[in-house]
Structure 1
Amino acid sequence: METESDKISSRIISVNPEPLGVFTLPIEKHLIYKKCIKTIAKNAPHDLRQKYNNEKYTEHVCNQSNQNIFSSYPELADLKSDINTIILNYIDQIGFISKEIIINDAWVNISKENAILNWHYHANSFISGNYFVNFNSQVDSMLGFKNDRITGLRLSPSMRIPDNRNKQTLYNTPMWKVNLKEGQIVLWRSHLSHGYDEPNKGKNRITLSFNSMPKICTDNDNRYSFQLQD
């Protein structure tokens, strides 16, 4: 008869995980920021608005390389300060060092019913983020993140071990949706592909997206560096 000592023991170890930071603003602050951003989304002038052919149901404010929502709308200075604090907190929590960052891009997304967000990543930053300004998780599409350990290696046709679709794990799932709520800010490292392909069911999904860099970029030994201007 087989005893416990006769059995082969095992465990699965996760290595090189991908850190997502989820930060929740105090409700009083969020409601102030929400009111301000909804006013901006409604009244922004034509030269600050963008609509792209591949996003029929989404409009953006300050989504050009020479624009930044925080530069165009100084009334969002407190939100910018909060996001700066959050980014530095995230960098510290995941074990890196940065004394000062700049938000090199920031824009507002207004997504109507049937909107999707094509999968993409950001090549011009180290840390990216999304603030859920007007968001109902019951009807608005959740932001998803691709598992690049799978999607980055699978070119079709290719040989691979088939997925067990009855057993979802961190290792066989190509995309994870993050269950976020209005008033929360999610951060991720900018190389991570994100988006949503399930059409939005809500009428007015509003988020504020941003990209950031350390103000002083160096190699790990501080031998080479350059400084960015805000």
Structure 2
Amino acid sequence: MDELIGLFPVPLLRVPGALPAGLVKALVEHFSAHAVRENNSSGHLAHTEMLRPDDSPLFVEAAALITPKLADFGSALLGERMGWALKEMWVNVLDHGGHQAMHNHANSFASGVVYLTPTHPESQTVFMKSPGGVDFAFRNDHAGMTPGPYNADKWVSPAPAPGDLVIFPSYLMHAVPPNRGERRITLAFNAIPARLNSWGYVISFGG
């Protein structure tokens, strides 16, 4: 029997209801007023400064719920279950008409988003293939073709509810299309594993 094998997939962990409603509400109420840093990709996008998890009791509570999920994700990403540390956390506030340009996250191995408010269907996070040279020079893009995991250049994440979490490799490109709905607030973070061991060459990362 013929067998189609999907080589080298990219892991993305989706955790519905990772943060409880009470914590989500408290994060929105506290950090909405602290998101004053402008983002050069959109005049309707602002964020807080990069904070360590222990800079806020609310972040401490959120980190305690997120970290075990990082260990689950890390076992798929790196092939071993180990400790993980949240490097930094911040809150994004995207008003009507704002967008977030395509980007990835440096100096980390896993990144994630917790959705704190409802998201308009046209403003769900979009993940994209790297713009590097991994595709053929010719494309087959037209109305009659069927996009799938082997030929699509983007994937729109499922509609999130407040408290939902996604974790993905930090190198994965992602963006948010123009927001057609009400204010969209998310908690983002970067994380690193405790260490990497490549046949005895060990690198340990600080917390």
Which category of TM-score, normalised to the shorter sequence, fits these structures?
A: 0.7 to 0.9
How many residues in Structure 1 have an aligned counterpart in Structure 2? 205
Structure-1 residue corresponding to 2:147? 168
Counterpart residue identity of residue 40, structure 2: N
* Offset of residue 212 of structure 1: 0.2
Q: Which has the higher strand share?
A: 2
* Offset of residue 98 of structure 1: 4.3
**Is the 2:113–2:167 contact (alpha carbons within 8 Å) kept by the matching residues of 1?**
yes
**Is the 1:218–1:224 contact (alpha carbons within 8 Å) kept by the matching residues of 2?**
yes
| Residue 192 (str. 1) matches residue 175 (str. 2) | no
User: Hey, which bits of structure 1, 4+ residues long, moved more than 6 A?
Assistant: none
Instruction: Indicate the structure (1 or 2) with the bigger Cα radius of gyration.
Output: 1
Structure-2 residue corresponding to 1:96? 79
Point out where structure 1 has 5 or more consecutive residues left out of the alignment. 1-8
Structure-2 residue corresponding to 1:4? none
* 1-structure distance, mates of 2:186, 2:139: 38
Counterpart residue identity of residue 175, structure 1: K
* 1-structure distance, mates of 2:5, 2:43: 43
What does 1:6-85 correspond to in 2, within 5 Å?
A: 10-25=2-17, 29-44=19-34, 49-63=36-50, 67-68=51-52, 70-85=53-68
**SS of alignment partner, residue 57 of structure 1:** strand
Structure-2 residue corresponding to 1:3? none
Q: Deviations over 1:186-223 (max 9, x none)?
A: 01111110112x310122101000000012x2332233
* 2-structure distance, mates of 1:219, 1:154: 28
Point out where structure 2 has 5 or more consecutive residues left out of the alignment. none
* 1-structure distance, mates of 2:139, 2:47: 41
What is the root-mean-square deviation of aligned Cα atoms in Å?
A: 2.3
Identity of aligned residues (%): 20
* Offset of residue 173 of structure 1: 1.1
Counterpart residue identity of residue 61, structure 2: D
Which of residues 194, 202, 205 is equivalent to 1:224? Answer: 202
Structure-2 residue corresponding to 1:209? 188
